[in-house]
Structure 1
Amino acid sequence: TPEHNTYLIIRLNFAEVAAGLDDYKDGLDNHCRLVFNFFCDIYAHILPTGTKEGLQQEPDAVSKLRFLCQKCQEVGKKIYLFIDEYDNFTNMILAHEEHLVRYRNQTHGEGYLRQFFNTIKGAAGNTLGRVFVTGVSPVTMDDLTSGFNIGTNYSLSPKFNEMAAFTEEKVRKMLDYYSSVLPFNHTTDELIKVMKPWYDNYCFAEKRYGKTTMYNSVMVLNFISNYIDNEYDIPDSMVETNIRID
């Protein structure tokens, strides 16, 4: 596309924010400080001279993000911002009722997390050319709606139904390939018959229900790995441990 290789990338992972709800600001500030410093280092040849030094003078994540947006604008560059597990700290709310007040303080009114997303909203479409946010719970984004009400939720979009898992066609192609280069003891049809009751029938978009079901990609790959390690015999355990915990 015309925008290929034109963005400067910032990737935040809120799972790495080492903080609880009572000190979330400090944790978010520290995480962003490390990421933003790295951003200044790898794009030092593009950003204005003294950008990193100026960044150090900004007191927190919100002001640092605004500062970087300003500096990128000065050189005519746009940022592609990725935020992974934006709702990470929400898990504490679901587990501990006593955190509810602190949660509301972060996501409502003048809460710091809300301010952070307000800053993103203000720069989106301008210096922040693209923003891609991932998470597992809609709770946090619902509470941040007025702070970040410009995004489009693609989670349940039919056209992305096949993005996070395998169709049976893909599983068959995978098995066909491995059986052509390794001494499999079972045909693709035999392996599909074993795998289907365990891994198939996922559907992420309601409009695709009954049309295209998906195989759990993690468990399919785990099965194939175990099958090979098990000297090409069906594994005793059909469930991957980490998935079972989830």
Structure 2
Amino acid sequence: MLKLPKGNSNFVDIVTKGFVYVDKTKYIEMLENGNDKFVHFLRPRRFGKTLFISMLSCYYDILTKDNFDVYFKDTYIHEHPTVEKNSYLILPFDFSGLNDTSSDMLEREFTQRIEDQCKEFLNKYKIDIELEKRSAAGIISQLLYELPSKTDIPIYAIIDEYDQFSNELISFDLKGFKNIVSKNGYVRKFYETLKIGTSKGVVKRIFMTGVSPITLDSMTSGFNISTNLSLDPRYHSMMGFDKDEMYKLILEIDEIVNKQAVLQDMKIMYDGYCFTKKKKECLFNPNMVFYYFDQRQIYHEAPIDMIDSNMLSDYNKLESLLMINSDQKHKDILLEILSKEKITCELTTSFCLDVAFTRDDFISLLYYLGYLTIHSVYRDMIEFTVPNTFIKKIYFDYFRKMIQLDFHVNTSNYAESINRIIDQKDNSLFVSNIEGILKSLDNRDFRGFSESKVKIAAAAIAQSNKYVLLKSEYPVEEGYVDIVLFPYHTQGITALFELKYIKKENLNQATLEEKRKEAYLQLKKYGEAKEFANQDIVKWILIFSKDECVCNEIVD
């Protein structure tokens, strides 16, 4: 059985205790040989950033010199060591887990975190400096001022999750956030002091990870020395797993017989992330992958819950995003994403919180946080898409919560309505629930209403049931099926739905029959597709007008 580093981001622990390690050490050489000594790299939460930083720290730390062969055997960098190997004092800062419930509490915890990590640094390298009680900037200033008199070894500053606390603060206390990054703000002062350390040669290199560029942008000249490598195609796979890395992992798990089929299933659930305008192969989220393999090794089958609850808690923050300089257009953007699963804008690479978020700003923020990914590029415009089924579930979870709270829609029987479809071939409750969502919307929501909005309602209901896999616009030989429900970890039918919508003013018997016939012919073709061979399929026509289903018919 493979030892999987699920939740473990300690490089030394992983490589010395026999855990699986996907070798990313070639990027050490690339970073060192590059022109930029001060860099930051942005990726969504739980994408392998902390493990990469741990590996980087181990490689450059002067104290690990004697263990280089132990820690880096069988890696790229072991055969291609660089000039600066094991030649730094590593000064690490980790800003995750700070109490951000109030601005005052955050400042105290930020300062204490800086003090604690500077003291750990001094103790680790046995450097005799007595730090005084000061501000965060004062503490780091004293350290960098006195250090050259104690040693001539330079510092490599490594900062993990530089923006985690500030991202949380933005959503509920925008004024407080602006204060901490303003000219006299304590966060800005800390980074200004670190910047001074680089100019004096005490800090020779800096590597920072984070999620979005908002905090750095807000500090303007306070820390304008760092190069953003996040969109650089050369570093696209520095964090996350590509298809080859994934397949090598699958080969090592003996109980997986049909390895290509498992790879395809995992692509649907966890793949799809692209972070460069120059199209590269999409990446898998490492934490999601290890969760799947862990469950597979324990139970010898794919997990019923394809999504780790810990991941859900990290990503279930769409509601707080809507509060950032918010207005109705943010919800409209989410509905567009739910409807089309794609959306186009120009990527915002520099944010300004002094004005309301533009449409591009909000879509870009969804990209940085991992809710969207790059699909294609035309000149300056990027088409973003929902990366995978995991993120799609997040959107629909939010939509169900929104209609429950804003429109008082009862969502408690959504999962049961899907059970009735796959177990009893009965879609009446499903249709009733769709009508309930449509009835809850006001007249404004029906302007320009189309079948795509009906699909949102139908998909939101289906996504509530973990025993079906929902496929929207599912490609088959003859076209695209509007909605397919595949039974997952259970027996039952495969349900195909062709959805149509008729405007209320256009509803008459002739129009209804025309739409019905169109849907009938489509479903007859779809049902014969090889994708549904040897499956018990049931095909339904659903035609809606305003908030009512005017045709609910099974196609034989």
Of the candidates 286, 297, 309, which is equivalent to residue 241 of structure 1? 309
Q: Which has the higher strand share?
A: 2
Residue by residue over 1:75-125, the C-alpha shift from the partner in whole angstroms, topping out at 9 and shown as x without a partner, is: 2121111122221222333431xx222222211121111111110111115
Pick from 291, 294, 300: which aligns with 1:225? 294
**Aligned with residue 281 of structure 2, among 207, 212, 225:** 212
Distance apart, 1:129 and its partner CA = 0.9
Residue type of the alignment partner of 2:220: T
Deviations 1:35-82 (A, max 9, x none): 1111111111xx3xx41x2x2x35232122122212322221211111
For residue 86 of structure 1, the aligned residue among 153, 156, 162 is 162
Counterpart of 1:221 in 2: which secondary structure? helix
Q: Corresponding residue for 2:274?
A: 203
Match among 237, 246, 261 for residue 190 of structure 1: 261
Please give the alpha-carbon distance, in whole angstroms, between the structure 2 residues aligned to 1:127 and 1:221.
Answer: 39
Q: CA deviation at 1:26?
A: 2.2
Match of 1:25 in 2: 107
8 A Cα contact 2:197 2:203, kept in partner = yes
1:107 maps onto 2:181 in alignment = yes
Matches within 5 A, 1:116-155: 116-125=190-199, 126-155=201-230
What amino acid maps onto 1:227 in structure 2?
R
Q: Alignment partner of 1:134: what SS? A: strand
Q: Which residue of 2 aligns with 1:5?
A: 86
Q: Deviations over 1:148-172 (max 9, x none)?
A: 0000011221112112211111111
Aligned equivalents of 1:65, 1:76: Cα separation in 2: 17
* Highest RCO, 1 vs 2 (Cα 8 Å, sep ≥ 6): 1
C-alpha distance in structure 1 between counterparts of 2:159 and 2:98, whole Å: 12
Distance 1:215 1:100, change over 3 A: closer
Q: Structure 1 residues 217-226 or 146-155, which shifts more?
A: 217-226
1:76 is matched with which residue: 120, 139, 152?
152
Alpha-carbon offset, residue 200 of structure 1: 1.9
Rg (Cα) greater in structure = 2
CA 1:42/1:185 → structure 2, altered by over 3 Å: closer, same or farther? closer
Mapped partners of 2:288, 2:266: distance in 1: 9
Scaled by the length of structure 2, the TM-score of the pair is: 0.40
- 8 Å Cα contact 2:236-2:275 kept in structure 1: yes
2:228 aligned partner, one-letter code: N
1:26 and 1:234 map into 2 onto residues whose CA distance is 45
* Cα distance in 1 between the residues matched to 2:181 and 2:219: 6
What is the rounded CA distance, in whole Å, between the counterparts of 1:23 and 1:236 in structure 2? 41
Q: CA deviation at 1:185?
A: 5.0
2:92 match: secondary structure = strand
Asked if 2 retains the 8 angstrom alpha-carbon contact of 1:21 and 1:89, the reply is: no
Q: CA RMSD, aligned part only?
A: 1.9
Equivalent position SS for 1:201: coil
Gaps of 5+ in 2: 1-81, 316-556
The 3 A distance-change label for structure 1 pair 233 and 92 is closer
Partner SS for 1:10: strand
> How much has 1:143 moved relative to structure 2?
0.4
User: How far apart are the structure 1 equivalents of 2:308 and 2:212?
Assistant: 23
Mark the CA change 1:178 to 1:131 in structure 2 (over 3 Å): closer, same or farther: same
Q: 1:137 to 1:70 in 2, by over 3 A?
A: same
Aligned length: 230
Partner letter of residue 298 of structure 2? D
Distance 1:221 1:89 in 2: 26
Counterpart contact for 1:22–1:102, Cα < 8 Å: no
Secondary structure of the equivalent of 2:223?
coil
Give 1:244 shift: 2.9
- What is aligned with 2:251? 176
Taking the aligned partners of 1:149 and 1:158, their CA distance within structure 2 comes to: 22
Q: Which runs of 5+ in 1 are unaligned?
A: none
How much identity, in percent, do the aligned residues show?
30
Shift of 1:141: 0.8
